[in-house]
Structure 1
Amino acid sequence: MRFATDTGGTFTDLVVEDDDGSITLHKAPTVPSDPVAGVLDALTVAAEARGLTLAGLLAKADSFIHGTTHAINAIITGRAAKTALLVTQGHRDMLLFREGGRTEPFNHTIAYPQPYIPRGLTFEVPERVLADGSVTLALDEDAVVAVLGDLREAGVEAVAVALLWSTLYPAHELRVGQLIEQHLPGVPYSLSHAVNATLREFRRASSAAIDASLKPLMTRYLGGLTSRLAEAGFGGNVMVLTSAGGMVDAAEVAAAPIRVINSGPSMAPVAGRYYAAREGAWRTAIVADTGGTTYDISLVSDGRIPMTRDLWIGQPYRGHLAGYPSVDVKSVGAGGGSIARVDDAGLLHVGPDSAGSTPGPACYGRGGTRATVTDACVVLGYVDPDFFLGGKMKLDAAAARAVVAADVADRLGCGIEAAAWSILDLATENMVQAIQELTVNQGIDPAEAVLIGGGGAAGLNSTFIARRLGCRRLLIPETGAAMSAAGAMMSDLSTEYAATVHSSTEAFDTARVNAVLDRLRAQAQGFADRAGLPGRIAFVAEARYAGQVWDIDVPLPDAAFASEADVAAFRDAFDAMHEQIFTIRDAASAVELVGLRARVSCTARPESDFRLRTDPEAAAQSRHRPVYFAGRGWTDTPVLRWDSIPADRDIPGPALIESSFTTVVVDPPARFRRSGDGALLIEA
């Protein structure tokens, strides 16, 4: 038995895989002040569903996979550790100057962003190594010891070290690390060359600063998670999801917490890739995960999950750059808990503020006093107040109507139903705009893709989103209500190793490049050996035309350069990739190799179908109820239980398809069918 959890802003999702390969879904409200409590609550719900105690359930399992937003929430809320940054003498302002770029270059009313670590906690170290490895200023160890004494007096809780050219010549950084261990025992530290082996000093410094600041917090959090699970009766392995779409042992995450900043959202594309291949082998899938707070979207094309090294915490250029490889997910502040308001000019807004899980939407009955998208859906009849979470949580329909009336209807001078529809309609438009920006920027026509809707609130408006996009095919997987947790169950044990190496096709240093490849291969194989599983290793070259500022990734199927033909093949692959991205190739310019990366993946789950356990009593629970649709008013609508729908039968709308964790709204113009594997396929 295995568990996979995703801790969201409103609910903690849990997927349980039994020994026979069948899976079940469970949810419990997230506890923002104690996320582990929400995890234990979800496990308790799963235990009760099986007639077991929590200890009895946990004793049956051998692995627990955890996705968390604890790290990124700590950064956003300013709860990360008090961290100092040590830099090369004369380069104190690396984090302040950044590397250029502005979201609004001519809007000078926006204040210049503050560095992640304030200047008052940034200290210069007398040392200097040049790009060729020559030392023009030896490391002044006495000065470093004096700085460490100042850090002790200042109560610093973590230290980041980012010295120039350390990614090629790390001796000085390694020695500073030894001095920290000697003079600040017990204080965690991060060395930039080990955290993010990139040539660009701002990115290395930013990655090291963020990583160091999270170490005390994540060590306590993961230690608490592991110990509390053990106290409750769990004796298996605790794994944590990474931003790069894989998972690693919890102990490894505590040593490098920057890996898990985008932990939960990275899993929806993993699940989306699986379902796109299973249901129709679609070339392009738009994967959308609707949570209580955010709407996360990504594109899966030709079975490839999109990756980025430009992961920003907050707005691009105004926030903080993690600089660590991550699944490329775009998020907008739109979800089931998004708050609706009417401004002084009489304009309606929905989000980005969210009611979260505490107090939550007004209909939750926990003290919420603001109208949200969920409240609007209760008013419209889309959500059954008596069947929320399968009847485990009763909603207050009167409270939903009251806040929609007070916050929106009265201020707009319209009826409650019209106001509720306007809230949902505007939330839908925000989601559509986000998808259009993502697809158009990559030259993708949504009409040629499949839209995959995940998250507990996805079914409420995904049909409307697909229609506005011109997307003819909408897929709601049977595990869609907990799609990120399902993706976690499908993910591999994986990590990535990187190294900086510079060479040019004009004079390719074969021996040096092959030596770096061999080192990366050994590191990757070591990870697989520690996991005790066969490892698949994929290599990527970071390359550019001579004189270019930015590089692109080029896969290296043959991870060795044995002859000039291998160099020529690398050159051809780079030209083809550059032409695919930028529509041009420059045959006259040399190609520069600036870095290499090795990603190792170990299959943690045997190849088998991902089968959701069905409810044998679902057929007897189908019924009708009035539902409000714009332009049609209240419409008598069949309410079908998901598991009761016969497979491969085309059914016209309107209909509401309910499960214990979600409701899918199919309006009158749409049609739907349930596939043999249990997913809903909708033609909007």
Structure 2
Amino acid sequence: MRFATDTGGTFTDLVVEDDDGSITLHKAPTVPSDPVSGVLDALGVAAEARGLSLAELLGRSDSFIHGTTHAINAIITGNAAKTALIVTAGHRDILLFREGGRTEPFNHTIPYPKPYVPRALTFEARERVLADGRVVTPLDEAALVDTLHQIRAAGVEAVAVALLWSTLHPAHELRIGALIELHLPGMPYTLSHSVNATLREFRRASSAAIDASLKPLMTRYLGGLTRRLADAGFSGKVMVLTSAGGMVEASEVAAAPIRVINSGPSMAPVAGSHYAEREGGWRTAIVADTGGTTYDISLVSNGRIPMTRDLWIGQPYRGHLAGYPSVDVKSVGAGGGSIARVDSAGLLHVGPESAGSTPGPACYARGGARPTVTDACVALGYVDPDFFLGGKMKLDGLAACRAIAEGVAGPLGVGIEAAAWSILDLATENMVQAIQELTVNQGIDPAEAVLIGGGGAAGLNSVFIARRLGCKRLLIPETGAAMSAAGAMMSDIATEFAATAYSSTAAFDAARVNAALDRLGEQCRAFADRAGLPAAVEYIAEARYEGQAWDIDVPLPGSRFVEASDVDAFRAAFDAMHEQIFTIRDDASAVELVGLRARVRCRARGDGAFRLRAEAGAGQAAAARPVYFDGFGSLDTPVLRWDAIPADRDFAGPALIESPFTTVVIDPPARFRRSSDGALLIEA
């Protein structure tokens, strides 16, 4: 038995996989002040559903997979550790200068972003190494020891070190690490060459600073999670999801917690890729995960999970650059808990502020009084107050209508249903705009893709989103209500290693590149040995045309450069990738290889069926109820239980399709059917 959890802003999702490959879904409200409590609550719900005690359930499991937003929330809220940064003398402002570029370069009302580590806590080390390894200025250890005493006096909790050319010549960084251990015993620290081996100074320094600032927090959090699970009866392995779409043991996260910043959202594309292939073999899938707080979207093309090294925490150029490989997921502040308000000019706004799980939407009856998207769906008849979470949580429909009346309907001078529709309609438009920006920017026509809706709130307006996009095909997987947690269950034990190795096709240095590939291969084998599983390794080159400022990722055809034909194959792969991304190629220019990465994956799950088990009573028929549809008014709409719909038969809207964890709204123009595997396929 295995568990996979995803801690969202409103609910903590849990997927339980039994030994026969069948899975069940469970949810519990997230506890923002103590996320582990929300995890234990979800496990308690699963135990109760099986008629077991929590200890009995946990005792049957050998693996617990955890996705968490704890790291990124700490950065956003400013609760990461007080961190010092040590840099090469003369480069104290590296985090302030950044890489140049601004989102709105002529908007001078926006203040210049503050560096992640303030200048007052940035210290200079007297040392200088050139790119070829020559030591111009030896490391002044006596001065550095004085600096470490200043760091201790400043009450610093972690230290980051980012020296010039340390990715090629790390001796000085390694020596500073040894001096930190000697003079600041027990102080967590990060060396930039070990966490992000990129030539670019700002990215490397930013990665090191963020990583160091998270070490005290994540060590405590994951230690507490592991301890509390053990106290409750769990004796298996605790795995943590990474930003790169895999998982590692919790003990390894402490060494580089930056890798879990985008932990939870990275899994929805993994699940989306699986369902796109299973249900239709679609070439391009738009994967949208609708939670209570955010709307996360990504593109899966030809089965490849999109990756980025430009993971910004906050707005691009205004936030903080993690600089660490991550599944490329765009998030907007739109979800079931998004709050609706009318401004002084009489304009309606929905989000990005969210009611979260505490106090939650007004219908939760937990003290929330402001109208949300969930309240609007209750007022429209989309959500049954008596069947929320399969009836485990009763909603207050009158409170939802009252909040909408006071917050939106009254100020706009319209009825409650019209106001509720306006809330949902505006939330839908925000989501559509986010998808259009993502797809059009990559030259993709949404009409040619399948939209995959995940998250507990996905079914409420995915049909409307698909229709506005011109996307005729909509897929709601049977595990869609907990799609990120389902993706976690499908994911591999995986990580990524990087090395700096410069060469050019004009005069290719195969010995240097092969030496770097060999080092990466050794790291991958060591990782696989720790996992105790067979590994698949993919090598990626960071390359560019000669004279270009930025590079792109190109999967290498092989693992070594032996013959001239290997260089030719690399060149051809780069030209094809550059043409795919930018629609042009430059056959006359040499190609420069500036870095190498190796992705290692160990398959954690067997080939057994991944099928949702029908819940007891879930297939019982439900009565029809009045539901409001824009342009049609209130219609007496059939309410169907998901598991009761016959497979491979076409049905016409209107209809509401309910499961214990979600409701899918089918308006009158739409048609739908349930696949043999249990997913809903909808033509908008």
TM-score scaled to structure 1, two decimals?
Answer: 1.00
Aligned partner of 2:317: which letter?
Answer: Y
Specify the SS of the correspondent of 1:360: coil
Specify the SS of the correspondent of 1:271: helix
Contact 1:148 1:180 in 2 (8 A): yes
1: CA distance between counterparts of 2:583 and 2:47? 55
2: CA distance between counterparts of 1:396 and 1:175? 62
Specify the SS of the correspondent of 1:621: coil
How far the C-alpha of 1:622 sits from its partner, in A, is 2.1
Please give the per-residue CA displacement for 1:489-531, whole angstroms capped at 9, x wherever unaligned: 0000000000001111111111111111011011001101110
> What is the correspondence of 1:440-451 to structure 2 with a 5 Å cutoff?
440-451=440-451
Aligned residue in 2 for 1:103: 103
How far the C-alpha of 1:369 sits from its partner, in A, is 1.1
Aligned residue in 1 for 2:503: 503
How far the C-alpha of 1:619 sits from its partner, in A, is 3.6
> What is the correspondence of 1:312-391 to structure 2 with a 5 Å cutoff?
312-391=312-391
2: CA distance between counterparts of 1:381 and 1:83? 51
Aligned residue in 2 for 1:120: 120
Aligned residue in 2 for 1:143: 143
2: CA distance between counterparts of 1:507 and 1:190? 35
Please give the per-residue CA displacement for 1:95-145, whole angstroms capped at 9, x wherever unaligned: 000001111111011000000000000000000001111111000001111
Specify the SS of the correspondent of 1:252: helix
Please give the per-residue CA displacement for 1:23-71, whole angstroms capped at 9, x wherever unaligned: 0000000000000000000000000000000000000000000000000
Q: Does 1:5 align with 2:5?
A: yes
Specify the SS of the correspondent of 1:370: coil
How far the C-alpha of 1:576 sits from its partner, in A, is 1.4
2: CA distance between counterparts of 1:431 and 1:574? 34
Contact 2:452 2:474 in 1 (8 A): yes
2: CA distance between counterparts of 1:665 and 1:121? 53
1: CA distance between counterparts of 2:42 and 2:615? 19
1: CA distance between counterparts of 2:672 and 2:287? 19
How far the C-alpha of 1:577 sits from its partner, in A, is 1.2
Q: Does 1:577 align with 2:597?
A: no
Aligned residue in 2 for 1:79: 79
Contact 2:20 2:608 in 1 (8 A): no
Please give the per-residue CA displacement for 1:588-630, whole angstroms capped at 9, x wherever unaligned: 2111110000000000000122100013533433210000111
Aligned residue in 2 for 1:178: 178
Please give the per-residue CA displacement for 1:455-492, whole angstroms capped at 9, x wherever unaligned: 00000000000000000000000000000000000000
2: CA distance between counterparts of 1:366 and 1:55? 30
> What is the correspondence of 1:469-618 to structure 2 with a 5 Å cutoff?
469-618=469-618
Aligned partner of 2:32: which letter?
Answer: P
Specify the SS of the correspondent of 1:640: strand
Please give the per-residue CA displacement for 1:222-259, whole angstroms capped at 9, x wherever unaligned: 00000000000000000000000000000101110000
Aligned residue in 2 for 1:48: 48
Contact 2:450 2:471 in 1 (8 A): yes
Please give the per-residue CA displacement for 1:160-196, whole angstroms capped at 9, x wherever unaligned: 0000000110000000000000000000000000010
2: CA distance between counterparts of 1:8 and 1:239? 17
Aligned residue in 1 for 2:304: 304
2: CA distance between counterparts of 1:563 and 1:680? 51
Listed as ranges, the gaps of 5+ residues in structure 2 are none
Aligned residue in 1 for 2:248: 248
1: CA distance between counterparts of 2:618 and 2:177? 61
2: CA distance between counterparts of 1:442 and 1:515? 35
Aligned partner of 1:607: which letter?
Answer: D
Aligned residue in 1 for 2:295: 295
Aligned residue in 2 for 1:643: 643
How far the C-alpha of 1:557 sits from its partner, in A, is 2.1
Please give the per-residue CA displacement for 1:304-345, whole angstroms capped at 9, x wherever unaligned: 000000000000000000000000000000000000000111
Aligned residue in 1 for 2:259: 259
Contact 2:557 2:570 in 1 (8 A): no
1: CA distance between counterparts of 2:552 and 2:13? 36
Aligned partner of 2:243: which letter?
Answer: S
2: CA distance between counterparts of 1:73 and 1:309? 20
1: CA distance between counterparts of 2:421 and 2:269? 30
1: CA distance between counterparts of 2:416 and 2:584? 55
How far the C-alpha of 1:646 sits from its partner, in A, is 0.3
Aligned partner of 2:365: which letter?
Answer: G
Q: Does 1:132 align with 2:129?
A: no
Aligned partner of 1:454: which letter?
Answer: G
1: CA distance between counterparts of 2:486 and 2:309? 25
Aligned partner of 1:374: which letter?
Answer: T
Bigger drift between 215-224 and 508-517 goes to 508-517
2: CA distance between counterparts of 1:173 and 1:156? 19
1: CA distance between counterparts of 2:229 and 2:47? 14
How far the C-alpha of 1:571 sits from its partner, in A, is 1.3
Specify the SS of the correspondent of 1:81: coil
Contact 2:211 2:257 in 1 (8 A): yes
Contact 1:538 1:557 in 2 (8 A): no
Identity over aligned pairs, percent: 82
Aligned residue in 2 for 1:69: 69
Contact 1:293 1:356 in 2 (8 A): yes
1: CA distance between counterparts of 2:10 and 2:206? 30
Specify the SS of the correspondent of 1:620: coil
Contact 1:626 1:637 in 2 (8 A): yes
Aligned partner of 2:26: which letter?
Answer: H
Which 4+ runs in 1 deviate beyond 3 A?
none
1: CA distance between counterparts of 2:442 and 2:148? 48
How far the C-alpha of 1:575 sits from its partner, in A, is 1.3
Aligned residue in 2 for 1:197: 197
2: CA distance between counterparts of 1:95 and 1:103? 17
Contact 1:162 1:191 in 2 (8 A): yes
How far the C-alpha of 1:563 sits from its partner, in A, is 1.5
Please give the per-residue CA displacement for 1:266-325, whole angstroms capped at 9, x wherever unaligned: 000000000000000000000000000000000000000000000000000000000000
Contact 2:69 2:262 in 1 (8 A): yes
Specify the SS of the correspondent of 1:503: strand
Listed as ranges, the gaps of 5+ residues in structure 1 are none
Contact 1:170 1:193 in 2 (8 A): yes
Aligned residue in 1 for 2:681: 681
2: CA distance between counterparts of 1:616 and 1:343? 47
2: CA distance between counterparts of 1:619 and 1:536? 41
